[in-house]
Amino acid sequence: MKIIMLGAPGAGKGTQAIKIAEKYGIPHISTGDIFRANIKNGTELGKKAKEYMDKGALVPDELTCDLVVDRIHQDDCANGFVLDGFPRTIPQAEALDAALQKDNETMDFAIDIEVPDDNIVKRMGGRRACVNCGATYHIVSAPPKAEGVCDHCGGKLTIRDDDKPETVQKRLTVYHDQTQPLIDYYRKAGILHSVDGTQSLDDVFSEIVKVLG
């Protein structure tokens, strides 16, 4: 089962991708998490990616596509994977299709989580992420058991650098310009499924499970 999560930043892609990965026993591949891990470890890739991420811009396709193509060829992806935050541009989608085509494969599902922009801005203001494992919380809709502490690993919860209101606005503009066209791309490919992302976390997940079967 090869799945793509589509949707604006903050639509709930990561939250749902983790649940999908758990239920279907496939890896969750988040390019944002990969970049943040590289930043934390001080790698060359991390240094380059940070310049773009801090501005709310996209990391260039040259730094992103090969990384994902390598990742989906690892052994744990043999039964599929859920991509979260990739592709984000048409060239990225084409690079993914080309890589799969070499093995006579195609993506199975593109799930678009629909949330209006004003709702997104509210969500991002309340997002907290674990510095250690990347798990995501929301101070109102998905709070941790103990304030400021990750339920999974006990790590400290912080506000992501790119969740400042002005950067969120920039990321939404980038989303509408560069990522939203993917909705049509996957509609034409016949694998698009849209879900109403303004529902509760559990209701969004139930809708997704209905699609995936």
Catalytic residues: 13, 88, 127, 160, 171
The item of ligand AMP, ligand ADP, none sharing an interface with residue 201, based on CB under 5 to 8 Å by kind, is ligand ADP
123 binds ligand AMP (CB under 6 A): no
Write the single-letter amino acid at 25. Answer: G
201 binds ligand ADP (CB under 6 A): yes
Q: What is the DSSP string of 150-164?
A: -TTT-PBEE--GGGS
CB of 164 to ligand AMP, least distance (A): 12
Question: Between 16 and 31, whose beta carbon lies closer to ligand AMP?
Answer: 31
31 binds ligand AMP (CB under 6 A): yes
141 binds ligand ADP (CB under 6 A): yes
138 binds ligand AMP (CB under 6 A): no
Strands 157-158 and 2-6: unpaired
Strands 157-158 and 81-84: unpaired
15 binds ligand ADP (CB under 6 A): yes
143 binds ligand ADP (CB under 6 A): no
| CA distances, 97 to each of 2, 89, 104, 143 (Å) | 12, 13, 10, 37
7 binds ligand AMP (CB under 6 A): no
Q: With CB under 6 A as the contact rule, which of the stretches 21-29, 50-58, 66-74, 132-140 interacts with ligand ADP? A: 132-140
14 binds ligand ADP (CB under 6 A): yes
| CA distances, 153 to each of 14, 84, 129, 150, 202 (Å) | 17, 21, 12, 6, 22
CA angle 106, 110, 95 (to 5 degrees): 50
80-103 in b/e form (b: 16+ CB < 10 A) is bbbbbbbbbbeebbebbeebeeee
115: exposed, middle or buried (C-beta count within 10 Å: 0-12, 13-18, 19+)?
buried
Residues 82-111 that bind ligand AMP (CB under 6 A): 85-86, 88, 92
Helix (H, G, I), strand (E, B) or coil at 75: helix
Q: Which residue ranges make up the site for ligand AMP (CB under 6 A)? A: 9, 31-32, 35, 52-53, 57-59, 64, 85-86, 88, 92, 162, 171
Q: Which residue ranges make up the site for ligand ADP (CB under 6 A)? A: 7, 9-15, 123, 126-127, 136-138, 141-142, 197, 199-201, 204
